Amino acid sequence: MKKYGIAALLVLAMAAISACSDNTAKTPSDTTNAPQQTYKWKLVTSWPKNFPGLGRGPETFAEYVNTMSGGRLQVTVYGAGELVPGFEVFDAVSQGTAQMGHAGAYYWKGKMPAAPIFSAIPFGMNVTEMNAWLHYGGGMELWRELYAPFGVIPFAGGNTGVQMAGWFKNEITSLDDFAGLNMRIPGLGGEVFKAVGGVPVSLTGGEIFVSLQSGAIDATEWVGPYNDLAFGLFRAADYYYHSGWHEPGTALEFIVNQEAYEALPEDLQKIVEVATRAVNQDMLDEYTARNNQAMQKLINEHGVKVRPLPDDVLNALKEPTAEVMAQKSAEDAMFKKVYESYSAFYEGVRNYHKLSEQAYYNNR
Ligand code: CA
């Protein structure tokens, strides 16, 4: 009985499908055979071409979009300096030199003081919390509001997870060791580093190794073992400190020129959106899988000395962090608005995570 039932249903379903396609074929507005417009986009990035993790994100995005759109939207990726320098990605997308970019929001702090909040805040949210705030806590709406005057639409574009505190030529035993230290450290972490007497230096990834090796800088942070191994930073400094108080779950960004986005048909817009969402997760998966392998290599093959930042150093950075955030809030209305949203969400999610994630980390 059941068998016949299913067979009958199948026949009905096939009849329905065939009726549907007949109807579709007769619809006057049918455009299935019409030539479809092809869009060619340039995607400029702040990273060396094909760089592990950060640079793979935009490459994966381009692969997804080119395939999912059947070649109707063709995205070509450019490394830092190939079309525009790494720190000019935002301007290039805003001006339409490129339709799309991949970078970190904290690189635009000179243009928009609130931008770094969409990358990372010292002692702030981790990757899970950051993604939750962006996609379900109002963060993305604020990010869009911030970039709107520039004709740029942001999407979350991957996350590194907790970074490392960085590479130092000498041991760090007290906060005094930061005094006068030239360190490559971006974003709000750099502001806090400055507040405790350090000298933050702004460099794109590709400039770091040479600067550290030549002594132009005394220390640097970059990302974590997977990326830091790729740059060979262990050849220029012996001490590798954890954990990344300054970047506890750094979000990357895809940015899209608004006019270019609005010129796309709805299905291609959705493909762009969904591909960014997929890369946002994929990048974290890659870091999670590769960081430990890289760390073992750094320790066992290259003799890197891995050290925790002393508790008193970490604790001494917390008050200056609060002061920097208060000062920025007083100086810039948008910073205040974004930081209030971030802080309210963080307080709630952190309380719950004390009972769940954090409790589990302590128990396992
Ligand atoms: Ca970093």
What does the pLDDT read at residue 36?
A: 85
The secondary element (H helix, E strand) that includes residue 307 is strand 305-308
Q: Does domain 39-160+249-289 have CATH number 3.40.50.300?
A: no
pLDDT digits (tens, 9 = 90+) for 136-154: 999 999 999 999 999 999 9
Rounded to the nearest whole angstrom, what is the distance from the C-alpha of residue 211 to the centroid of ligand 1?
A: 16
Q: How far is the CA of 220 from the centre of ligand 1 (A)?
A: 9
State the distance from the centre of ligand 1 to the C-alpha of 151, rounded, in angstroms: 27
What is the CA(284)–ligand 1 centre distance, in A? 14
Contact 87, 235 (CB under 8 A): no
Q: How far is the CA of 185 from the centre of ligand 1 (A)?
A: 7
Q: What are phi and psi of 31, to 5 degrees?
A: -125, 15
CA of 81 to the centre of ligand 1 (A): 20
Ligand 1 mean position, distance from CA 308 (Å)? 17
> What's the CA-to-centroid distance between 186 and ligand 1, angstroms?
7
The CA 163 to ligand 1 mean position distance, Å, reads 6
**Are 161 and 224 within 8 A, CB to CB?**
yes
**Mean pLDDT, the chain, integer:** 92
Centre of ligand 1 from the C-alpha of residue 219, in Å? 12
What's the burial of 81, exposed, middle or buried (CB within 10 Å: 0-12/13-18/19+)?
middle
Question: What is the SS3 assignment for 103?
Answer: strand
**Residue 147: what pLDDT?**
98
Expressed in angstroms and rounded, the spacing between residue 33 Cα and the centre of ligand 1 is 49
| CA 66 to centroid of ligand 1, rounded, Å | 30
Q: With beta carbons less than 8 A apart as the criterion, state whether 338 and 146 touch.
A: yes
Distance from Cα 357 to the centre of ligand 1, integer Å: 24
Whether 144 and 334 have beta carbons less than 8 Å apart is answered as no
Question: Could you tell me the distance, in angstroms and rounded to a whole number, from the CA of residue 324 to the centre of ligand 1?
Answer: 19
Give distance in angstroms: CA of 361 to centre of ligand 1: 24
8-state DSSP, 263: T
Q: How far is the CA of 76 from the centre of ligand 1 (A)?
A: 26
Count of H helices and E strands in the chain?
Answer: 13, 11
Indicate the pTM of the whole model.
Answer: 0.88
State in Å: Cα 10 to ligand 1 middle.
56
pLDDT value of residue 5: 52
- Contact yes or no for 73/268 (Cβ under 8 A): yes
pLDDT-flagged residues of the chain (< 70): 1-35
CA dist 346 and 340 (Å) reads 10
Q: What sign does the dihedral 117-118-119-124 (CA atoms) show? A: positive
Distance 248 CA to ligand 1 centre (A): 9
Alpha carbon of 164 to ligand 1 centroid (Å): 8
Taking the centre of ligand 1 as the mean of its atom positions, its distance from the CA of residue 266, in whole angstroms, is 35
Ligand 1 center to residue 74 CA distance, Å? 30
- 223 CA to middle of ligand 1, Å? 4
